[in-house]
Amino acid sequence: MPPAPDRGYLVAASNARAAQDQLPVEPPVAAPPAAGRFLSVDDRGVYVREIPAADGGPVDESLPVTLYVHGLAGSSTNFDSLATLLAGHTRGFSLDLPGFGRSDPPPRERYSLLDDAEVLSGLLRQLAPDRPVHLVGNSLGGMVCTALAARHPEQVATMSLISPAVPDLRLTQDRGADPRLALLLAPGTMPAAVRRLASVGPLARAQGMAALCYGDPSVLTDDDLRIAADDLGWRYGLPWVHSSTVQSLRSLMRSYLRPGPWSFRAAAARVAVPTLVIWGAKDRLVDAKLAVPTAAAFSDSRLLILADTGHVSMMEQPTATARAVLALWQDAETAVDVPGADPRRTGSGAPPGTSATAVAPSSS
């Protein structure tokens, strides 16, 4: 695999504040995942994990709710480290999107970003029926969160997007994702793509995903990769495990070509809640060059670009990610407490692409 593109020069565009609160010690990657349960949403089983309190005690149900939404081929466990660090400030839930992890696939396996957004909306009506929640989404999950915030603004308090899988229609070879992925939209290509995925064993796939998603995959130990492979091995027994990945990828690419009110840019323009955009400067999958224009697409945004980091900063740099997310929450809460303030306009004051005086660090 060729070296990851290094957009370290973009780190200076960060303007996100970093919370200085004391956080717990980062849990090891191989820590046991939070317990979960199935909830029924529109007669489908959606698997949801509730993040335990940082001290191991009972969860404070009066805290604001956060929903963590994973990316393509991921699962609810992708947010274990970040959610654990933030557990003292929120009641956290992470879910398996339809067709991933333990959740049921959609009817007739018709994958759709907008359908996923409606599943999230239905889930939130059960988890937090009386108040808006914080959304944290990675990659595909970031796109689903954006659709949810645009379609159901009353359910969302803030939104944090980690390397969202935004459209990249630039006519250039200097980019992250392979433009040949567009071939999946051609008729008849899905069976071959599914066979290709199925031919890769769980350990080889875990190693490949680490190399693809981490800026520095060497931080993962053999035990980390073995545990990831064990989880993948369990999922390999599900009849839809590979088709869900291919179908969701095709749905994502179709959304890039969607004109009108549900294109990404149109949806982002309708999002009024405070939004944090986080990107890794060494993202192989979604080029960090898209970070500044993505943040600018939202009316109330702040931006953090992390050096030497790949596509999953919540796993690779969980403390730096947690400090930026927590600062967003704090700023939103402060704005609500100020008489006459608009709770949906809490920006740091520095537009994306300029340096702020308090920028979240890349580590610690």
Q: Which two tokens stand for residue 62?
A: 């009066």
pLDDT tens per residue, range 194-232? 788 888 999 999 999 999 999 999 999 999 999 999 989
Summarised one tens digit per residue, pLDDT across range 274-287 is 999 999 999 999 99
**pTM for this entry:** 0.89
Residues with Cβ within 8 Å of 330's Cβ and at least 6 positions away in sequence, in order, are 19
Residue 351: Cβ within 10 Å count: 16
Alpha carbon distance 194, 179 (integer Å): 19
pLDDT-wise least confident of 142-156, 174-188, 291-305: 174-188
Q: What is the DSSP letter of 277?
A: E
**181: phi then psi, degrees, rounded to nearest 5:** -60, -25
Question: Are 360 and 320 a contacting pair, CB within 8 Å?
Answer: yes
φ, ψ for residue 218, nearest 5 deg: -65, -15
- Compute the C-alpha angle 71/76/78, nearest 5°: 65
Beta strands across the sheet bearing 44-50? 36-41, 44-50, 91-95, 65-69, 133-138, 156-162, 275-280, 301-306
- Minimal CA–CA distance to 356: which of 309, 303, 307, 313? 303
Q: Is the pLDDT of residue 156 over 90?
A: yes
Q: Which residue has the tokens 């100020």?
A: 338
Specify the CATH architecture of the domain 8-337.
3-Layer(aba) Sandwich (3.40)
| Res 359 pLDDT > 90 | no
What does pLDDT average to over the chain? Answer: 87
**Within its chain, how far is the Cα of 230 from the centroid?**
23
